[in-house]
Amino acid sequence: MQRARPIDTFLPRGAPAVLALGGIILLGAAVNCAPAAPVARLGGPAPAFALPGLDGRTVRLADFQGRPVVINFWATWCVPCREEMPLLQEAYERYRERGLVVIAVDIEEPEAVMRRWVEQGGFTLTFVRDPDGSEVKRYNVTSAPTTYFVGPDGVIRDLKLGALSRAELDSKLAALFAASS
């Protein structure tokens, strides 16, 4: 009967130590991995964010817990976004007494570009910047505009890819307020 040879006889000198070290490193990396950031899903919680506002303060989604929130991802270079913004402003003015918050998240543009456009339009919504595109990724934004409708409980109730018509916006807001009652 032939005796089994140790594995190190088949490997170059020092290889077992290198393999063992590699295994330890991989195990350590697997144990220390941070969980992935939550991603937006219809019916799930809206991922928390903290983004710079035009007034220099940080705007946190958590600051609006208990209120219905519309989150609109847009850019100044996006024609449908520019056409939609007055509708969002009108909706905000009409429903702000009922607690509606509209957060317009600018997609990776310089602050000066966004500020000039907002000031020229006379908009009073909450404008924030996503300078590195991290929230665009977490909210699965693949086209602009993209709009999320978040209930007072922080759950995403609806979304729209592309520009909203007045009728669509009114319908989605009516459903959002009905779910909030």
Q: What is the pLDDT of residue 38?
A: 77
Q: Is residue 126 within 8 Å of 104, Cβ to Cβ? A: yes
Q: What is the pLDDT of residue 36?
A: 62
Ordered per-residue pLDDT tens for the chain, 181 residues: 566 555 555 556 655 544 444 444 444 444 444 456 779 999 999 999 999 999 899 999 999 999 999 999 999 999 999 999 999 999 999 999 999 999 999 999 999 999 999 999 999 999 999 999 999 999 999 999 999 999 999 999 999 999 999 999 999 999 999 987 7
Q: Is residue 116 within 8 Å of 106, Cβ to Cβ? A: no
pTM for this structure? 0.80
List the domains of the chain with CATH numbers. Answer: 1-33 (no CATH), 50-180 (3.40.30.10)
Q: What is the pLDDT of residue 116?
A: 97
